[in-house]
A and B are shown apart, each in its own frame.
Chain A
Amino acid sequence: MKYLVLLIGDGAEKPWPEQTESEQAAAMAKFGEFDRACRDRDGVELLAGEALGDSAHATVMRTSTDGRVALTDGPYAEVIEGMGGFYLLEAPDLDVVVELLRVLPPYDIQIHPTVEVTS
C-alpha cells in the first residue's frame, strides 16, 4: 500500500526554533536514520519526502463554480498550521509504517493511505 505520512505537529518534540544546535543536529540525524531504515526494509520504498517551508508562505487556491480562481495567503489553519513535512512511501501495512516512523522525533503524525488508481 502507498501511504502519505504527514508530520502535522511538534507533539512531544520541542519546537525547532527553541532547540539548541546539538538538539537540532540530533533531530536531523533521526531523519537520516529513517531514510536508512526505509531503504533496508523489505517491501518499503520511500517515494518522496520534503520538509515544508514557513506556512506563512503557503497559498490557498480556490475555484468557484463559475471558474474564477481566488488565491489567499496561508494554509487552512486547522489543517496544516505547523505541518513540518511529509513523506510518501510504499509499505506492506500500517504496522511497518508505524514501526519505521518511531525512528523520527516524537512528532504528531497522520498516516493516510492513498487510493490506487490504475489506468
Chain B
Amino acid sequence: MREEWGRLVALLLSQFRRIDLAEDALGDAVEAASRTWPVDGVPDNPAGWLMTAAKRRVVDRLRTEAVAARKQQLLLTDAERHQEGARTMADSGSLVEDDVLRLVLMCAHPALAPESASALSLRLVLGVPTSDIARLFLVPAPTMAARITRAKKRIVGAGIPFAVPDASALPGRLDTVAQTTYLAFTAGYAPGTGPDLLRAELSGEAIRLARVVLGLRPDEPSLLALLALMLLQHSRRDARVSDGRLVLLAEQDRTRWHHDEVAEATRLLAAPCLGGPVTPLTASYVLQARIAAEHATVASAAETRWDRIVGLYDLLLQIAPSPSARLARAVAVAEDRGAAAGLDALEGLEIPDSHRPAAVRAELLSRAGETDAARAAYDQAIAACRNDVERAFLTSQRDGLG
C-alpha cells in the first residue's frame, strides 16, 4: 500500500487539483479498506478499488462545498467547476511526465518552508503516517499535523501548481527536491536533539524518496549524487551505535557496514552524467560522497587516505564553503598531519548552537597533551550538547583525561 500511496495521491490530484481533499479522501478509502477487506476479501485490483473509493469521497466533498457555497449565494455552478478543471488540466509545460513527479515537485516547491516541504514529501509521496513524521522530526504529533495542513493550504492559497516546469526551470526545481530530501535524511542521520543518536528509519525514508524521483528521472545528476552520498552515510548505521553509545568511525566494526550499499553508491558515482559540468549543489554532493567513499572502501581505519580526504575537503570548501565542512576538514588535517596542524585549521571556527567545534578542539588538545585546555573544551562542549548519547560520550572522554 505504501508503495502505491504517492501514485494514488498524484492520480487524484491530476483529476481534482485539490490537495486538501485528495489526501483525506485517500486516507478514508484506506480506512474503509481495512474494515471491509478482511471480511469481503482483498479485491483483484486493490489500487483500483482504493482509487474508486477515494474519488467518490472527493466528489461527495465537492458537492457539499457547492451546496454550502450556494447558501452563501455564491454562484459556483458545476459548469464553472468543469471549465476550471479543463483549464488547469491543460499543461503548459513542454515535457510529458509522470503525475508522481508533479507531486514531488509540488511538495518540494521553493515557496514552501524547507521543513514543511520535507514533511509534506514524506507524507504525500511516501505515505508515511503523520504521527511517524512527527516522531522522526521530534515534534508533537498535533504540531506536525498542523504544519502539514498549513503547507497544504498554502499550496492551494498561493497557487503552487501541480505541474512540471519547462526544461529550463526543471533542473533548479529538482535541486530543491534534492535539498528537501537531504534535509529529511540529515534529520535522521544526525539528530541535533533528543535521546537517539540516529533515527535510521527517517534516513531510510529519505533514500526511498530519492529512489522514487530517480525512477522518474534516472539521469538527474543532483539526485544521483545525493543518493550515493546518502547510501554511503546510511551504510554505517548499524556500526555507529553500540549499546546506545556512540562509536567513532575509527572504532566501528566494519563488517557491520552495509557493503552492498557502498557498492551501489560507488556505481552511482561513476555515472557518466556526473563526469560533465554539474551545478554547485551536485558538485558538493559528489565531493561529500567521495569523502564518504574514502572511508567506506578501505579495510581498516589505519589505511584511510587522509591526504586525499583533505584534498577533497579543500575542493568542497571552494564550491560550498560552510563551517561544518571546515570543521570536518580540520579533523582530516589532524589525522593527516597531527593534532597541532588540526588545531591550526580550527582557528577562529565557530558554529552557532553547536557543540561540535568545542568537542573536536577538546579531542585535539587532549592528543596534543594539553590536558587542562582539553578539559575546559570538553566542559564547553558538554554544556552546549543537546543530544543525550553524544553528551554521555563527551562526558566519558572528559572523565578519562589523565
Would you call the interface of chain B mostly helix, strand, loop, or mixed? loop
B74 within 8 A of partner (CB) = yes
Chain A residue at smallest Cβ distance from B69: A118
Of B76, B111, B159, most buried by chain A (CB within 10 Å of CB) is B159
Residues of chain A contacted by B92 (CB below 8 angstroms): 42-43, 92, 96
Stretch of B127-135, B160-168, B245-253, B314-322 with 4 or more beta carbons under 8 angstroms from chain A: B160-168
Judge whether B163 and A95 touch: CB under 8 Å.
yes
Chain B CB within 8 A of A94 CB:
yes
Are B161's CB and A92's CB within 8 A?
A: yes
Interface residues of A in 11-33 (CB under 8 A from B): none
16 contacts between A and B (CB under 8 A): A1-B159, A43-B87, A91-B159, A92-B87, A92-B159, A92-B161, A93-B161, A94-B161, A95-B160, A95-B161, A97-B159, A99-B165, A111-B158, A113-B157, A118-B76, A119-B74
CB < 8 Å A-B pair total: 40
A113–B154 Cα gap in the complex (Å)?
11
How many interface residues does A have (CB within 8 Å)?
16
Assembled-state Cα–Cα distance A1/B161 (Å) = 11
Chain A residues within an 8 Å CB radius of B74: 118-119
How far is A92 from B17 in the complex, measured between Cα atoms in Å?
12
Extra A-B contacts (17), CB below 8 Å, given A95-B165, A118-B75: A1-B159, A42-B92, A91-B159, A92-B88, A92-B159, A93-B160, A93-B161, A93-B163, A94-B160, A94-B161, A95-B161, A95-B169, A96-B92, A99-B165, A111-B158, A113-B157, A119-B73
A17, chain B: closest CB distance, angstroms: 32
Provide the residues of chain A in CB contact with B157, threshold 8 Å: 113
CA distance A3 to B160 in the complex (A): 12
Interface size on B, residues (CB 8 A): 17
Whether B111 and A94, one on each chain, are in contact in the complex, defined by CB atoms closer than 8 angstroms, is: yes
In the complex, chain A residues whose CB is within 8 Å of the CB of B111: 94
Do A113 and B165 form a contact, CB below 8 Å, given A42-B92, A92-B88, A119-B73?
no
- Complex: how many Å from CA A51 to CA B321? 40
Residues of B within 8 A of A42 (CB): 92
Determine the chain B residues whose CB is within 8 A of the CB of A119 once the complex forms. 73-74
Contacts of B161 in A (CB 8 A): 92-96
**Residues in chain B near residue A111, CB distance under 8 A:** 158
Q: How far does the alpha carbon of A96 sit from the alpha carbon of B111 in the complex, in Å?
A: 13
B18 to chain A, nearest CB (A): 14
